[in-house]
Every structure is written in structure tokens, then in C-alpha cells.
Amino acid sequence: MSQPIAPIDRGAGFNADCPLFRKLGREDLQHLAAMARLRVLTERQNLCLQNSPSGRLFNIASGAAMVERISSAGRRQILGFVFPGDFVGLSNSSHFEYGIKCLNDVSAYEIPRQKLYALAEKSARLKENLSSIRDLIQAMTFDQIFLLGQKRAHERLCFFLLQMLDRLPGARPEHIQLPMGRQDIADYLGLTTETVSRSLAKLKREGILSLPVSQAIVIKDMAAVRELADIS
């Protein structure tokens, strides 16, 4: 009995306040645990490759990764960053439209799509969770479209920072430790590394941020960041 439950108690993704597992009964969790395979990867490794067959989904348990899409022309767009509790791969397309690349050591549960869907048919709660994950992803992509279509470089950065505050575990206004580099931020916001750097410098000059080291950011004027980031 304790055998299928074991992974439940170990991974952050399986017991945290995570959209997929929220409010699930013990039995559902056991079924999920039984079908999930824990994968452990390190920096730069791919959880899945763009255009590879997509019969599985991922639930990030620890670490950080980015969902990226690379065109044949070699341009890269980061569709999103994912953190513990995040769920990726929710669609029925036969192939992944993106790759998922680790930013640091990552552990993730890989779940066969068909099995998950079959279980969802039997668990109304799980089905609800899947729905709300889909809705959340859709809302986030709409935000990103608005951001890319309408906002300036420094505004995009502020939006990005608020998003990190909201989603990156451990991030506080007084100290955001970024797991990704400037190039990744640039490819997420539709900018270049130089523009990211310059925009950060501008926000620093204006007293809105400070940058103790390049990988860490301190928000000194939260109201200003919010105002610049606003897309509502």
C-alpha cells in the first residue's frame, strides 16, 4: 500500500497546493501516483523536444524550466517559464509544439495522457482541475499576446518581474533570484539581451529597481512596477 504512495510524499508537485492535485481524494492521488513516472534532469536537458510525439504531460515537482519554440529560421520564442506545481502538455495534438528545457536541476512527473484523461472521466474533481489549468494557461497566453503587441521594453520587464514574484518560489520584492539568463528573458519578452540589460539599467536609474548581482533583482518601488506592468 505504501509503495504507490511513496512518490506522493516525496515530490513537491504531488502534495503542494498544486492545481492538478488540489482537493483530490486519497484514492485519486494513488491512481495518479501509479501512472506517474518521476524524471530527474539537469540544466539544459530537455523534458521534451519540440515536434516529438506528445503522448504525455508533465507536472513540475522541483526546479525551473522554460517552454520554448524555435523556428526553422533559428529564432526562439519562450512561451513561458514553469515552476513547481506547473503543468505542461495539456492538449491533444500529436506532437509538442514546443520544447521544455531545464534551467537548473528539475524533477518532474511524466504522466501518460490517455491514462490521465481516463482517470479524469472517473474523478469530477480531477476533471475540474484540468479545466481550470487549461483556463489559467489560456488567460496567461492572452496576457502575453497583449504584452507583446502593446507594451514597451521596460514595461514588459516590469510585467515579467511581477510574474516572477507571483510564480517563482521564494521570490519576494526585496529579493528575486532569477533562474534564467538575459537571453532567456529577452526571448520571452520579444527583445534582445542588450535591450533587457538597458531597460533594467533604466529602471535602476529611476530608482525603481536595484541589481545587487545580475541574477538577482530587488524591487524598490513596487507601485511603479505595478503601474508600468499593468495590462488590465
Partner DNA sequence: CGATGCTTTGAATCTCGTCAAGATGTGTGG
Partner DNA sequence: CCACACATCTTGACGAGATTCAAAGCATCG
Q: Which of 37, 95, 122, 152 binds DNA (CB under 7 A)?
A: 152
C-alpha cell of residue 170: 521564494
Q: Identify the DSSP state of 15.
A: T
Would you say the C-alpha torsion 118, 122, 126, 131 has a positive or negative sign? positive
Shortest Cβ 153–DNA spacing (Å): 3
149 is a site residue for a second copy (CB under 8 A) = yes
Q: Which residues pair with 80 in a beta bridge?
A: 67
- Interface map 158-197 toward a second copy (x if CB under 8 A): -----------------------------xxxx-------
Task: Using the structure block, give the residue that is written with the C-alpha cell 492545481.
Answer: 19
> Which range of residues in 41-49, 131-139, 165-173, 174-182 is near a second copy by CB under 8 A?
131-139
* Residue 153 contact among DNA, a second copy, none, beta carbon within 5 to 8 Å by kind: DNA
54 is a site residue for DNA (CB under 7 A) = no
Query: Which 194-213 positions form the footprint of DNA (CB under 7 A)?
Result: 194-201, 211, 213
Helix axes 182-189, 153-167, angle to 10 degrees: 110
Whole-number Å distance between alpha carbons of 90 and 134: 7
* Residue 195 contact among DNA, a second copy, none, beta carbon within 5 to 8 Å by kind: DNA
**Burial of 135 (C-beta count, 10 Å sphere; 0-12/13-18/19+):** exposed
Q: What CA–CA distances, in Å, run from 224 to 187, 188, 220?
A: 24, 22, 9
Note the residues at the interface with DNA (CB under 7 A).
152-154, 181-183, 190-201, 211, 213-215
Note the residues at the interface with a second copy (CB under 8 A).
69, 71-73, 75-77, 79, 91-93, 97-98, 131-132, 134-135, 137-139, 141-142, 144-146, 148-150, 187-190, 230-232
